[in-house]
Amino acid sequence: MTGGERFRDRTDAGRRLAARLSSYARRAGMLVLALPRGGVPVGFEVACALPAELDVFLVRKLGVPGHEELAMGAIASGGVRVLNSRVVEELAIPGAVVDDVSARALAELARRERLYRGAVPPAVVAGRTAIMVDDGLATGATMRVAATAVRALSPARLIAAAPVAARGACEELRPLVDEVICLATPDTFTAVGMWYADFPETDDEEVARLLTDAARFRQPAA
């Protein structure tokens, strides 16, 4: 893909990304973890093509109380928490405050996961090849937190994949995963949506529908 070419939409991007990931096709126990919400339509195409189990992996920022725009860390699916020790130490944030913010964020993650997958439990990650997918990486911060959290779940191999990404975002991801796959890394990167001709917001209903539709492609865990 050339630097100036755009994807038609997330479906087109997902199919192109799946073609790049074809070396993983038909391997037992493959797992695609899509980052909601925009990463789910992309991940759906990847999961259908390989084929692989599709699940969502949610990440939520832990904002400093009173200054929520400042992240003191993040919490992800499964309760894995990553803290920014520099922010916590510099602002002398008590552990009880961190725990309280984490508990509320975890409750919101649980609510969204129930909304997306209903009573279906999260996919098993341990011992499997997991491909994390998003629709694009501007700073890559969410994917980095997700990578740290997924790594704690003991996958056999961990891949981060996106149709388009800033070069710096890809480089910062490399130490956290076994492989980074980005179809396009343009010299100038402003926003993910600039690289799509059609880039509508993905809503919760679409996420839930795609997870249900992908179930017919699922393989048993290895």
pLDDT digits (tens, 9 = 90+) for 158-171: 999 999 999 999 99
CATH 3.30.1310.20 occupies which residues in the chain?
Answer: 60-117
Work out the widest C-alpha separation in the chain, in whole angstroms.
50
Residues of the chain with pLDDT under 50: 1-2, 219-222
Residue 44 and residue 48: Cα distance in Å, rounded?
6
DSSP characters over 78-115 = GGEEEE-HHHHHHTT--HHHHHHHHHHHHHHHHHHHHH
Q: What is the pLDDT of residue 2?
A: 44
Q: What is the pLDDT of residue 16?
A: 98
Overall CATH class of domain 60-117: alpha beta
- Whether 64 and 89 have beta carbons less than 8 Å apart is answered as no
Amino acid at 50: L
Strands (E), 21-64: 31-34, 53-56, 59-64
CATH 3.40.50.2020 occupies which residues in the chain?
Answer: 10-58+119-217
Q: CA-CA-CA-CA torsion for 77, 78, 79, 85, nearest 10 degrees?
A: -70
Q: What is the pLDDT of residue 222?
A: 43
Q: What is the pLDDT of residue 218?
A: 57
Any bridge partners for residue 131, and if so which? Answer: 32, 159
Residues 6+ apart with CB under 8 A from 140: 165, 166, 168, 169, 170, 172, 173
Residue 212 and residue 185: Cα distance in Å, rounded?
32
Q: How many residues does the chain have?
A: 222
* 203 burial level (CB within 10 Å; 0-12, 13-18, 19+): exposed
**CATH topology classification for 10-58+119-217:** Rossmann fold (3.40.50)
Pairing mode of beta strands 129-133, 157-164: parallel
Q: What is the pLDDT of residue 84?
A: 83
